[in-house]
Chain A
Amino acid sequence: MLTFESYEAAVEQCFANGWTDGLPVVPPTPGKVRAFLATVPRRPDEPLPYYAERGRVVTVEKVAVNAVMAGCLPEYFPVVLAIADVLFDPDLDFHAAQSSTGGVALGWVLNGPIRRAIGANAQGNVLGPGNRANSTIGRAIRLLQINAMGSVPGAGHDDSSPLEILDRSTLGQPAKYACFHVPEHEEAEPSLAPLHVERGFRPEQNVVTVFATGGGMQVSLHADQTAAEIAESIGDHLLHLGRHDPTGWLVLVLTPEAARLVARDGWSKARLREAVFDGSTRHVGWFREAGLSVVGHYYGARRNPPPQPDDDERLLTVTAGPDDVQVVVAGGPAGAWAYFLVPYGPIASKAF
């Protein structure tokens, strides 16, 4: 524990120690941290699984300390801890999100009744700022990465932090401040099953789905009048994105206006997934004839042999299969948009 003569001095010392994301933090007093820990049935000294790549043993209390610093309220802490549990799962591989030049950001989808209980925003500007739960839960995870997991940025100016630099992001991305935060608007289009139900959980369960992503793109669907046209527009964007990956997944955020069209035509999320997958899948020969670089469109070369220009019959897909297109309904009431996030690591869910 460290003692300072004033609140302001504590905040400034957090800057000096490199314990921030560049914004002021809330000083994590013992009383505040205790209030957070009281919201979960876990011991403060309970270790999360060993983070072997950086040699760290992070405890539940350290997660709480960083959640306080991010500006969370105590009732957000179960969500923060559930995301951390996924992050430290030894069967997954989130280390690239700590270290890669690819500027990887984390993201999370939140489902279940806790969304409303904590006032998370699933509607207008859902991916942007303005809601305390969305922003500070995401920031808590980022501060956890920096402070507890050693993902300290600053490559190229090694005196930027007193801590050892690990995050070698060449460009970074804005979502590295507070993650991609996606509470699903489950009530917007009830005929479309929410993501956690599609992933095998019960509707009444609280679930986080956590992923590492290189970023995303917004797609206008305003000219589309049918579910089929929506799927075609999304598929067409994906087709030209250069991210075909036979082991990949996508998070596809669909706004309520677009979701309404999908539901009106009697489509389920499963049918939309199939159509998006089919619409973004082509043979190598199609890319060649279209004058597009086959290798440039292939993102799975580390795990699979890359296609050659004469592999005309080989199919290139944007995900491993249709089921790997994860559809989430969220956003404001007006506007037919989609936003897709591409993989840079695993995706996994946890109920809590």
Chain B
Amino acid sequence: MAITILDPTVPVTVERTCLADRLDTLDGTTVGLFSNRKLNADRLLCLVGERLQREHGVKALVRGRYEVSRGMRRDEWIGIERCDAVVLANGD
């Protein structure tokens, strides 16, 4: 006897967003470095920050952290208003 069943899966629904304006240069900018708290994420960001300042003229760094197992929430974007660009690091 034929049997009909329902699909238990759920398709991905992507929230459409647009890219922020790209920077022409990093020279003189402020860059945010946000870590997901995993081992080595902070270390990686330190190295990135040093290089951005030494080789690309980045003027200032803003550092922050967010919870390891999910996307950043609004209350974790501390200091974001001062940043011209942001780097997120997912270490492990």
Chain A residues close to B by CB (< 8 Å) = 1-7, 9-10, 14, 19, 27-30, 33, 50, 52-58, 61-62, 65-66, 69, 93, 95-96, 99-100, 143, 147-150, 163, 302-303, 345
Contact = CB atoms under 8 A, between A and B. Distances in A.
A28 B5 contact: yes
Nearest to A102: B69
B8 A3 contact: no
Contacts, number: 92
Nearest to A96: B69
Given A7-B3, A303-B37, A52 B12 contact: no
Nearest to A144: B8
Contacts of B68: 96, 302
Given A53-B70, A62-B10, A27 B38 contact: no
B37 A6 contact: no
Consensus secondary structure, chain B interface: loop
A302 B38 contact: yes
Interface string B13-24: 111000000000
Nearest to A100: B69
A10 B8 contact: no
B79 interface: no
Contact of B5 (A1, A54, A62, A100): A1
B67 interface: yes
Q: Which of B2, B10, B37 has the most CB of A within 10 A?
A: B10
A303 B65 CA distance: 9
Contacts of A33: 6
B69 A65 contact: no
A58 B70 contact: no
A57 B13 contact: yes
Contacts of B9: 19, 147-148, 163
B69 A55 contact: no
Given A56-B10, A345-B69, A2 B5 contact: yes
Contacts of B13: 50, 55-57
A1 B8 contact: no
Contacts of B67: 93
Given A58-B10, A65-B7, 9 more contacts: A1-B7, A2-B4, A2-B7, A9-B3, A30-B6, A33-B6, A55-B12, A56-B13, A100-B69
Contacts of B6: 1, 28-30, 33, 61, 65
A249 B44 CA distance: 31
A29 B12 contact: no
Nearest to B11: A56
Contacts of B11: 56
Interface in B12-69: 12-15, 37-38, 67-69
A143 B5 contact: no
Contacts of A149: 10
A150 B7 CA distance: 14
B69 A69 contact: no
A57 B2 contact: no
B43 to A, nearest CB: 14
The 5 lowest CB-CB distance pairs between A and B, nearest first, are: A96-B69, A302-B37, A147-B8, A55-B12, A148-B10
B49 to A, nearest CB: 20
B20 to A, nearest CB: 19
25 contacts: A1-B5, A1-B7, A2-B4, A3-B2, A3-B4, A3-B5, A4-B5, A6-B3, A14-B5, A29-B3, A30-B6, A52-B15, A52-B70, A52-B71, A55-B13, A56-B11, A56-B13, A62-B10, A93-B70, A95-B70, A147-B8, A163-B9, A302-B38, A303-B37, A345-B69
Interface centre among A4, A19, A150, A302, by most B CB within 10 Å?
A: A302
